[in-house]
């Protein structure tokens, strides 16, 4: 097997297979980012005299050709090649000879992996932000569309007080705002350049780490080279917290959807082709999409603990089990992005029940409203509470179902504009354009 680190001794085949694990499979997802890192690194090498101008032209031409192959899904990691880094360097050497052997000067596979991961995570976080924003806009639109449709509110799964579909949709929208605060923290930690830390202790070459930071569109660099290596594991842990936060919001919404789709509630419905049936019960319309989403998102909430258990007792420096973090994080991005997309799609097809409160069992929703009306008319609260409670006990409770909630964030004052402004402010903090411009310049 072709390895960047191998000298003359062949590793036992059993050991090789066990230690390589799923690296070759997962590394394909990092291929484009490995090339981007090498484009920046070789530009820097030429600037400090470790690669001449002619070699740089050759190397960058072929790196861009490899990048184009990756973008067109024409890139593979060949049998017998250990990882993406080995594959790219092997292709370069095959195509341009000795110039391809110069690209590894001044870096270790450790910081090469680190920068690949940072670039990959940064890209994936951008996808999460964009899909979260789409779901947010859908929720705000539904909140405004159905703001006047009342919905029973529950505590302890008991009928409690009047709510509305405006409140319900808007609550999940605002939840996503807070979730993106977590994602923003993960983005900021991720958007720092580790390249140049080599094996974790720097290099005797006069590397220009500021240059590679700028070329790759990073906001700043991991200054201390030891910490740059220690950041592996910590970055994943922070990202896991962010992903689990979004997942928690989705899981709760999915649970509500499953509950509200039940015939016992019948608060919402979907077209039949978005639900599934039963092999023996012809009437069934099962909320399989929301159930699968609930399961995936519950599993994602375990992600921070999985990452912590993988890294919690490691000393500083590189350790091989860090590669296993890819097996946790890479599928997590796919699952969460899929769930966000499906949630948006399902909500585009939701129908709300506008006559829920016609059912007499929801009359008690208005008990607090009646208490408050008495208080506004001068009755002490405790007396008003007892009077309404006695009317309920005696079967004489006949409430006025007109409600008047006006304070901030209530049924009559949803504050959706303010919630949207908060989301827009967070979105502005993700400098996606700076990243996109840097990448475009590297591969032009």
Confidence of residue 284 (pLDDT cuts 50, 70, 90): confident
- pLDDT confidence of residue 253: 98
Query: Which pair of structure tokens corresponds to residue 292?
Result: 């699968």
- From 129, 114, 163, 159, select the one nearest 317 (Cα to Cα): 114
- pLDDT confidence of residue 282: 66
Q: What is the DSSP string of 37-103?
A: HHHHHHHHHHHTTSS-HHHHHHHHHHHHHHHHHHHTT-----TTB-SHHHHHHHHHHHHHGGGGGGT
Say if residue 364's pLDDT is above 90: no
- pLDDT confidence of residue 7: 53
Picking from 74-88, 167-181, 245-259, 414-428, which range would have the lowest pLDDT averaged per residue?
Answer: 74-88
Read off the pLDDT of each residue in 143-151 and give the average, rounded to a whole number. 97
What span, in angstroms and rounded, lies between the C-alpha atoms of 108 and 408? Answer: 56
Mean pLDDT for all residues in the chain: 92
The model's pTM: 0.91
* 3-class secondary-structure state, position 401: coil
Read off the pLDDT of each residue in 62-88 and give the average, rounded to a whole number. 91
pLDDT in tens, 297-346: 999 999 999 999 999 888 988 888 899 999 999 999 999 999 999 999 99
Domain 109-201+222-356+414-443, architecture per CATH: Up-down Bundle (1.20)
- pLDDT confidence of residue 325: 94
Q: Token pair 């409430």 is at which residue?
A: 399
pLDDT in tens, 387-443: 989 988 898 888 888 888 899 999 999 999 999 999 999 999 999 999 999 999 999
268-272 long-range contacts, Cβ below 8 Å, gap at least 24? 268/350, 268/351, 268/352, 268/353, 269/350, 269/351, 269/353, 270/346, 270/349, 270/350, 270/351, 271/349
- pLDDT confidence of residue 293: 97
Say if residue 5's pLDDT is above 50: no
- Strand pairing class (268-269; 220-221): unpaired
H-run or E-run covering 143: helix 109-145
Backbone angles phi, psi at 314, to 5 degrees: -85, 135
pLDDT in tens, 89-118: 999 999 999 888 889 999 998 999 999 999
Query: Domain locations in the chain?
Result: 13-102, 109-201+222-356+414-443, 359-410
Read off the pLDDT of each residue in 28-43 and give the average, rounded to a whole number. 95
Q: Does domain 13-102 have CATH number 3.20.20.150?
A: no
Query: Which pair of structure tokens corresponds to residue 53?
Result: 């101008």
Taking residue 135's Cβ as centre, other Cβ atoms within 10 Å add up to 24
Q: Is 321 exposed, middle or buried (0-12, 13-18, 19+ CB in 10 A)?
A: exposed
Secondary structure of 238-299 in the HEC alphabet?
HHHHHHHHHHHHHHHHHHHHHHHHCCCCCCEECCHHHCECCCCCCCCCECHHHHHHHHHHHH
Confidence of residue 123 (pLDDT cuts 50, 70, 90): very high
Taking residue 136's Cβ as centre, other Cβ atoms within 10 Å add up to 24
- pLDDT confidence of residue 19: 65
* 3-class secondary-structure state, position 160: strand
Residue 117, phi-psi category: left (phi > 0), alpha (psi -120 to 50), beta (remainder): alpha
- pLDDT confidence of residue 278: 63
End-to-end CA distance of the chain: 33
pLDDT in tens, 14-25: 776 676 667 777
Query: Which pair of structure tokens corresponds to residue 199?
Result: 């094996």
pLDDT in tens, 254-272: 999 999 999 999 999 999 8
């Amino acid at each position: 097997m072709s390895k960047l680190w191998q000298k003359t001794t062949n590793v036992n085949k059993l050991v090789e297979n066990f230690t390589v694990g799923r690296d070759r499979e997962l590394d394909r997802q990092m291929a484009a980012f490995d090339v981007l890192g090498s484009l920046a690194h070789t530009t820097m090498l030429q600037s400090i005299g470790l690669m001449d101008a002619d070699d740089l032209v050759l190397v960058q031409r072929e790196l861009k050709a490899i990048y184009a192959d990756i973008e067109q899904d024409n890139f593979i990691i060949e049998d017998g090649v250990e990882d993406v880094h080995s594959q790219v360097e092997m292709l370069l050497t095959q195509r341009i000879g000795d110039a391809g052997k110069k690209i590894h000067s001044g870096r270790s596979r450790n910081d090469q992996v680190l920068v690949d991961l940072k670039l990959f995570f940064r890209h994936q976080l951008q996808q999460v932000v964009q899909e979260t924003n789409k779901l947010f806009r859908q929720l705000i639109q539904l909140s405004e569309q159905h703001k006047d449709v009342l919905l029973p509110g529950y505590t302890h799964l008991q009928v409690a007080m009047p709510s509305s579909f405006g409140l319900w949709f808007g609550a999940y929208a605002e939840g996503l705002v807070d979730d993106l605060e977590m994602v923003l923290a993960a983005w900021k930690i991720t958007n720092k350049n580790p390249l140049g830390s080599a094996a974790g202790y720097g290099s005797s070459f006069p590397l220009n780490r500021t240059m590679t930071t700028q070329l790759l569109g990073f906001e700043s660099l991991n200054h201390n080279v030891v910490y740059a290596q220690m950041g592996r594991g910590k970055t994943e842990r922070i990202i896991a917290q962010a992903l689990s936060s979004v997942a928690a919001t989705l899981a709760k919404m999915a649970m509500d959807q499953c509950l509200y789709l039940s015939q016992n509630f019948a608060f919402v419905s979907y077209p039949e082709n978005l639900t599934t049936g039963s092999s023996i019960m012809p009437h069934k319309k099962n909320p399989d999409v929301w159930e699968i989403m609930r399961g995936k998102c519950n599993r994602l909430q375990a992600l921070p603990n999985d990452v912590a258990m993988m890294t919690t007792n490691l000393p500083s420096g590189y350790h091989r089990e860090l590669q296993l973090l890819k097996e946790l994080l890479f599928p997590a991005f796919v699952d969460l992005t899929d769930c966000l997309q499906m949630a948006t799609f399902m909500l585009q097809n939701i129908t709300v029940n506008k006559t829920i409160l016609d059912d007499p069992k929801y009359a008690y929703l208005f008990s607090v409203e009646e208490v408050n009306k008495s208080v506004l008319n001068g009755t002490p609260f405790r007396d008003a509470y007892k009077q309404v409670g006695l009317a309920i006990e005696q079967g004489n409770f006949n409430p006025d179902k007109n409600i008047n909630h006006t304070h901030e964030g209530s049924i009559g004052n949803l504050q959706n504009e303010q919630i949207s402004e908060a989301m827009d402010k967070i979105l502005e903090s993700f400098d996606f354009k700076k990243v996109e411009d840097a990448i475009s310049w590297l591969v032009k």
